[in-house]
Amino acid sequence: MLEIDGKDGGGQLLRTALALSLCTGEAFRMEHIRAKRQRPGLMRQHLTAVQAACDVGNATVLGAEPGSLTLEFTPGTVRGGDYHWPIGTAGSTTLVLQAVLPALWMAGVDAKLRLEGGTHNPLAPSADFLADSFLPLMRRMGLQAEIRLERHGFYPAGGGAIAMDIATSKAPMALHLSERGDPIGMSVTALMSSVPGRVGERELDAVGRRLPIAAEHRHIRQAIGSPGPGNALMVRVEGSEVTELFTAFGERGVTAERVGELVSSEARAYLVSGSAVGPYLADQLLLPLALAGSGSFTTQAPTAHARSNAALIEKFLPVQIDFEERGDDLWSVTVST
């Protein structure tokens, strides 16, 4: 049983450990889970990820309780089928998905997943990010999967729902992304739920003053069936090799202009860097490339989050993940055996 110290990471370390445990059959014990967070230990969202991993992997678990700082997880055989996981809060559905998608892919099984909770959360990949940025790259690596956004869910009300259909897929193949490819275009969308339309217009204007996005590529989209108010501002940068999506969230006390400024700054930093993928997509690519045993990409300066995730992956798999600085805010990341 692998011993893992979770004090220097958040829920991502737990989700990565769950996914790799299911993929490798290696049991683990994680201590000091989220110990440095304001509310340490397991929360509802993390417990749903543990439950999902148990269901998919016929696993046994000790310590799966609210606030627990220690978890022991022993995987069984991964199986396909129909699964439904309601988080019961605004916790991110996409983060729960991270714990089980790699295992279902590696096992080569069919599965239908439905998750209820948040679909557009701060500090988590949104459902739009998965559909536009992440899944297209996974399909190039061999994954056959489709995602559907059935209902939007924002913090704090939650109540959103996503569904994913996974078909029998080949084992992950290597992926190399040194460049984002020929520029295709940029667009910006203000996603609104029970928020005055003028807020979205101000957000779009703020982005338009900072990024070269033509008026016809600025959109306001009404959320589907969201039980609570919410607002997400998304800048889409499409290249022939990679599509990136940057998101900022409206919240009480933050002006529409400030939201536009935040998302524009992220998109501009990405464009100036010349990298193939941004920092959030870089985090998402590490695990599938490690399962493929080979791959590389260029990105912006790696976060501490990415480095701790890479170190954990190396505990489970016989791979080496190297970060090499190549220029001002430009790094190459290489996965090799």
Distance CA 158, CA 226 (A): 8
Asked about 305 being catalytic, the answer comes back as yes
Residue, of 197 and 15, whose pLDDT is higher: 15
Residue 21, pLDDT score: 98
Residues 6 or more apart whose CB falls under 8 angstroms from that of 77 comprise 57, 58
3-class DSSP assignment, residue 176: strand
**CA–CA dist 84, 252 (Å, integer):** 32
The radius of gyration of the chain from alpha carbons, rounded to an integer in Å, stands at: 19
- Round to whole Å and give the CA distance between 337 and 324: 17
Q: Give the pair of three-digit tokens for residue 249.
A: 């969230």
Using CA atoms, how far apart are residues 112 and 83, in angstroms rounded to an integer? 6
Half-sphere exposure of 23 (CA within 13 A, CB side): 24
pLDDT at 171 exceeding the cut of 90? yes
Q: What is the pLDDT of residue 8?
A: 80
Mean pLDDT along residues 161-172: 96
Listed range (37-41, 181-185, 216-220) with the worst mean pLDDT: 37-41
DSSP state, 175? E
Burial of residue 300 (CB within 10 Å: 0-12, 13-18, 19+) is buried
Task: State which CATH number among 3.40.50, 1.10.10, 3.30.1370, 3.40.1090 fits the domain covering 274-337.
Answer: 3.30.1370
- Residue 176 is predicted with a pLDDT of 98
Average pLDDT across the chain, whole number? 96
Among all chains, which residue has been given the structure tokens 């935040």?
Answer: 262
194-242 confidence digits (pLDDT tens): 999 899 999 999 999 999 999 999 999 999 999 999 999 999 999 999 9
- Domain 183-273 fold is Dihydrodipicolinate Reductase; domain 2 (3.30.360)
> Looking up tokens 């109540």, which residue turns up?
159
Could you tell me the fold of the domain covering 2-173? UDP-n-acetylglucosamine1-carboxyvinyl-transferase; Chain (3.65.10)
Range 109-123 average pLDDT: 96
pTM (2 d.p.): 0.95
pLDDT attached to residue 9: 78
CA distances from 280 to 172, 247, 303 (A): 20, 11, 9
Q: Is the pLDDT of residue 33 over 90?
A: yes
Q: What is the 3-state secondary structure (H, E, C) of 38-92?
A: CCCCCCHHHHHHHHHHHHHHCCEEECCCCCCCCEEEECCCCCCEEEEEECCCCCE
The reply to whether omega before 156 is within 30° of 0 (cis) is yes
Catalytic residue among 32, 217, 219, 305: 305
Using 50, 70 and 90 to split pLDDT, how confident is the model at 160?
very high
Give the pLDDT confidence score for residue 123 in this predicted structure: 87
Question: pLDDT band for position 148 (50/70/90)?
Answer: very high
Type of residue numbered 43 = M
Percent residues over pLDDT 90 in the chain: 93
Q: Higher confidence at residue 304 or residue 144? A: 144
pLDDT in tens, 308-333: 999 999 999 999 999 999 999 999 99
pLDDT of residue 7 exceeding 90: no
Domain locations along the chain: 2-173, 183-273, 274-337
pLDDT at 36 over 90: no
